[in-house]
A and B are shown apart, each in its own frame.
Chain A
């Protein structure tokens, strides 16, 4: 079966959640990771007015950016009950500028405690980048 150029899939993990994410470049990888994270948590967003949150995160490497970006989204999820399904991202050196668009959760099956650095490595693969992320749940 031919794989989409960008996407995510769940990997077996005994206790936590592991997500494999692939994309042609780092910004698309971040977006797919976010979509995958909300998919895993069973997030259903309301059809009401769309909300936007803008933020910046800084990290010295792609793995750090990934953890910081996803952690920021989890923060809005827990604090404001918001989930996101559309992202506009730009990178300025080590700084990621993010505009996340979404809506309040209608339902959420599972709580993600944290995004871990466990064996986290953004790898160059034919066709782009690939990473496996373990979430503590």
Chain B
């Protein structure tokens, strides 16, 4: 286990595990955390997992860990690692099973005062229109050919089908479509699982949440995003469903053989990988991009359903009940990007697992309206606590491959949470705080109790202190649909 004395303090918000800590490390690990947050994660295996990640062939810079880190499998959650393109490796375990799990933020012109009387109806309508829970299927029936189009086109497919606007796509990371997706690299089983699930939320920590813009910290950035204090907004958190899970399962299995073929030694089999320029590496990248595009389309269809819910509840009662997109981000993805390392631009594959891309102002990947402020970063809290809208900074480009935190981060096991919290009691408690809840399972609700998570405000203060994001707005929850 990594101990506090093994770490070198860089600043109040950044620590290093030097390369000398373990013989097989190829690069150091840098952890963005306060001493307090760091001490909290010393009780689980997050840092050991970060050290394991630092053994991957072809790494450049440092392996990074965000302050919402916690123990995962393979990489820790909150891990970021960049490998040189094309000779470095890509690791499915550095991206996760829920490929392109991410968050979308939609905003409205409805004030909390105007909407409050309708919030019970609204949460029921969201629950009705947005299928959620274990094994739920969506309303879209598609052939395998149509699914292949979703794989290739992502949100562009939803635009053609009438589920999206041009503005939605412009305000989605990668425009909602990663180039280079190849459906022929996806198994029949993954397609079978993916076909009925487009437009579904799933279960676990996935949710749709209605929030109020509670506080603005950056008027200019909030203005560019259309966020106004006191107005209702909607967050959608989900990913690529069984489609992505199966693609990751297939390739983690397939790459078990590839590491032997390429003579790669790893401390954990979940870190299996293949060189980006190998047949296996190229196939995984092409299949992963299919799941990424599926997830963009999935959140877009759910956004369409959220709009249907708003229309049902508010149309005819309020003059403007429309939801417009602020941004859509991914926090589980491998992407080919160019970053400046030792003063030179280097093409790399950035693995972000439970970490959000946070590109600074002027990045060509951003839409025109966000060029001056930087990329919006969406950081959901836990049920009952705040969520945050941040923006990427020049420092995040220099220090963290344009990445920052993705949420509050768990601190308590699901087992302990279930022992300490009863789902029905938690629901009553949240409702007494004015947070309406619709949940598929009370046991599932208990596992996601706010006390199972770190303090999201402390996580945000850390990334802001480290300079790898800047505050724009704080959101307060008023209604939650949990899968």
Q: Name A's B-contacting residues (CB within 8 A).
A: 10, 12-17, 42, 60, 63-64, 67-68, 71, 75, 77-79, 81, 105, 107-111, 113-120, 134, 136-137
Q: Which of A12, A68, A71 contacts B413 (CB 8 A)?
A: A12
The reply to whether B410 and A15 form a contact with Cβ atoms under 8 Å apart is: yes
CB 8 Å contact bits of B213-237 with A (1 = contact, 0 = none):
0000000000000000000000000
The reply to whether B253 and A114 form a contact with Cβ atoms under 8 Å apart is: no
Chain A-chain B contacts (Cβ-Cβ < 8 Å), number: 110
Q: Closest Cβ of chain B: how far from A84's Cβ, in Å?
A: 15
The reply to whether A111 and B416 form a contact with Cβ atoms under 8 Å apart is: no
The reply to whether A114 and B248 form a contact with Cβ atoms under 8 Å apart is: yes
A81–B196 CA distance with the chains assembled, in angstroms: 14
A137–B96 CA distance with the chains assembled, in angstroms: 11
What 7 A-B pairs come out closest when comparing CB atoms? A118-B73, A117-B269, A118-B270, A111-B203, A109-B443, A116-B73, A114-B97
A79–B394 CA distance with the chains assembled, in angstroms: 46
Residue B72 CB within 8 A of the other chain:
yes
Q: Closest Cβ of chain A: how far from B172's Cβ, in Å?
A: 23
Set of chain B residues within 8 Å of A60, measured between Cβ atoms: 256-257
Residue B140 CB within 8 A of the other chain:
no
Q: Closest Cβ of chain A: how far from B142's Cβ, in Å?
A: 16
The reply to whether A109 and B444 form a contact with Cβ atoms under 8 Å apart is: yes
Set of chain B residues within 8 Å of A79, measured between Cβ atoms: 192-193
A64–B31 CA distance with the chains assembled, in angstroms: 33
Q: Which of B134, B249, B411 contacts A14 (CB 8 A)?
A: B411
Q: Which of B112-166 contact A (CB under 8 A)?
A: 134-135
A10–B415 CA distance with the chains assembled, in angstroms: 8
Q: Which of B203, B257, B413, B443 contacts A13 (CB 8 A)?
A: B413
Could you list some 17 contacts between A and B, CB below 8 A? A14-B70, A15-B70, A17-B414, A71-B249, A109-B134, A110-B443, A111-B135, A116-B74, A116-B93, A117-B93, A117-B256, A117-B268, A117-B270, A118-B72, A118-B270, A134-B73, A136-B245
Q: Which of A16, A71, A120 contacts B269 (CB 8 A)?
A: A120
Q: How extensive is the interface on chain B, given as a class?
A: 35 or more
Max chain A Cβ within 10 angstroms of own Cβ: one of B203, B253, B414: B414
Set of chain A residues within 8 Å of B135, measured between Cβ atoms: 77-78, 81, 105, 108, 111
A57–B77 CA distance with the chains assembled, in angstroms: 30
The reply to whether B253 and A110 form a contact with Cβ atoms under 8 Å apart is: no
The reply to whether A75 and B189 form a contact with Cβ atoms under 8 Å apart is: yes
Q: Closest Cβ of chain B: how far from A89's Cβ, in Å?
A: 19
Given contacts A10-B415, A78-B193, whether A114 and B71 have CB atoms under 8 Å apart is no
Q: Closest Cβ of chain A: how far from B274's Cβ, in Å?
A: 15
Set of chain A residues within 8 Å of B395, measured between Cβ atoms: none
